[in-house]
Chain A
């Protein structure tokens, strides 16, 4: 029986313990707040030693980084821990997987909370990683010497999304199954290696193509489940950790894009902020998980698809893109271009300005419009943000504007499974489509200074501006004509098999989903052909001139960029830019004109 100890004896006991060999073998330093221990705490501790011991005071400001990178890392740790705990109850076979998730949710003590936390932390991680990328872009933190670390960061973003993708097959519910069905079928549409993609190799069949390798068979079943389980729990986290180490290490080793003045000790200034951030995130996730349950739909049924079938929100932008493009473009080419384009940013952005602070904004007049624009990096920041916003607009459309049969419903409309909607889409004849796309991409071509000088030497000082105007107005007119003339004049290739009308104009004009063509059709019907076609001709002219009017100032920007960046960087930047706006253009063609493909070679599965 222990005697009640007098109160002051306790610190003595602690003092005694601290003098033991055991204590000293574990803790190599004391905990007094001296400059020396502040340093030793960082480099004497394996968990903290990725930090520098001192850090610029500017970099500590919460409103500069919002702690997004650190929070992403913490969420990864949290997901690992909750994931490990979930693995104790989960068996990855189709017969029991769904039941195990049900058990976890309703039978296992606190299992539901754990699953909720895992799911919501995953969603939060996607948000935070994307925001981290946006922050790093806007503050120019990817600029030399940190170019490569940006590339690693993009890979980590891709892996975050892949972890989510592999993770949500595991509950084996309807959401899981159909999202993975769609994702796996995209692999089958990849060029060269997919059985249904363009230019497939002669030996590719459904039994050895990319989809087969991904899901381990020809249909999604147990082989797929164990495959995704291993990818989700072991393989991807393993690779993720490797790249994460590189990412964190390089933050230290590459030094900063901008050297700032005063430095402070990481312990306690940074470590305490990190601790507070993790506490905050933990509390938020706890409350979120207590209030909201992770979704679980009906058990997976390989034969019946929910209507509508929506992917998790962060893939709905991709799902929406798949509506407008052939799967090999929307599912393989565009994601690849987006990822490679993101990786290329630090190598093509040679502007040294805008490092270490949020963009400085200013006002400018553009014609009658006041424009709020970033003064130091106007092109880079605007284009990047337009891209990010476009992606979230697509996500918004997918979340809020799509109903049964993936038809368009405004957010305030209620869904009806029996709404009569007869949608019609038509291809533009290939040569017209080629002319349209060719004129569009030529729109991105610059007139280099050398060429301008030669033109000026030959034809006078005003000639280069005239040539540029002629080029852009000409291309604008070609685009307007190549879009509208075939719609007015071409025969409907689907007649009589799939269409009751003989001309494209009538088919699309009577369709409910091509408002622009319908307007032209009704104009011609009601006002007579002479007036109707006259007005349409004026519209073509007006559209072409409007495109030209946009093109001329765009031309000045292009020429300046070309002269500053050189051929290779310019080509990369302008191709990415034209593709980005091209996606927008194709979406408008689909929604306003009912255009399905601009160019189609069905024999090669090649459709654009």
Chain B
């Protein structure tokens, strides 16, 4: 027994090991497994393709830029003139113009302006913003977005809601602030 086993063991083990390898990764298994692999890859790809299909390539949405009238038509303060049609507040202060996108940064409702408290308040979850658009209460995580504002050749204000900025420092300059010191 003891003499027979040691020489027999490696010989018996080797084919056994090879047979197991063969059973796992051999020709038949290779064909079967690659077949299933292609099946699942195809199915997964198909699902992904259909998912991609749900993301449209062309959007039929209203343009985000509009002409807001002459600057001298705006008094100093918050103008709600364009809120109902363009969802923006045009703000005029002593130095010029800026424009808020009237969309709460929490979950996208339209806040209302309350002159007495000098705050924008959102009707959906109670976020409060001050005159600079910064959050003072409620759940909103970010300040209100400001839109790019400039003067067109015909002297009207042009607001572009596709270009937005809300970081303090960046939002008070460049295309997001229009210096203007004319008569009200």
Contact = CB atoms under 8 A, between A and B. Distances in A.
A458 interface: no
Nearest to A209: B55
A445 interface: no
Contacts of A420: 116-117
B109 A421 contact: no
A406 interface: yes
A182 interface: yes
A423 B102 contact: no
B127 to A, nearest CB: 8
Interface stretch (B5-13, B19-27, B66-74, B81-89): B81-89
Contacts of B102: 303
B156 interface: no
B147 to A, nearest CB: 14
Is chain B's binding surface mostly helix, strand, loop or mixed? loop
Contact of A324 (B119, B136, B139): B139
Given A319-B125, A497-B132, A498-B136, A307 B84 contact: no
Contact of A405 (B55, B59, B121): B121
Contact of A178 (B112, B124, B130): B124
B138 A607 contact: no
A321 B102 CA distance: 23
B59 A323 contact: no
Nearest to B106: A327
Contacts of B62: 219
The residue in B51, B61, B107, B121 that gathers the most chain A C-beta atoms within 10 A of its C-beta is: B107
A182 B141 contact: no
Is chain A's binding surface mostly helix, strand, loop or mixed? loop
Interface residues of B, number: 42
B56 interface: yes
A120 B87 CA distance: 34
A212 interface: yes
A494 B124 CA distance: 24
Interface string B99-132: 0001000111111100011010111111010101
B18 interface: no
B94 interface: no
Nearest to A325: B139
Given A322-B106, A323-B138, 15 more contacts: A181-B109, A185-B107, A217-B59, A217-B61, A222-B60, A304-B83, A305-B109, A305-B111, A309-B123, A322-B139, A323-B125, A327-B107, A327-B141, A331-B107, A421-B117
26 contacts: A181-B107, A181-B108, A185-B106, A185-B107, A213-B51, A213-B54, A213-B55, A217-B60, A221-B60, A223-B56, A223-B59, A302-B87, A303-B87, A304-B84, A319-B125, A323-B125, A324-B139, A327-B141, A406-B126, A421-B117, A422-B117, A422-B128, A423-B137, A424-B136, A425-B136, A497-B132
Interface of B: 51, 54-56, 59-62, 83-87, 102, 106-112, 116-117, 119, 121-126, 128, 130, 132, 134-139, 141-142, 168
Interface of A: 178, 181-182, 184-186, 189, 208, 212-213, 216-219, 221-223, 301-309, 319, 322-327, 331, 402, 404-407, 418, 420-425, 494, 497-499, 513, 596, 602, 605, 607
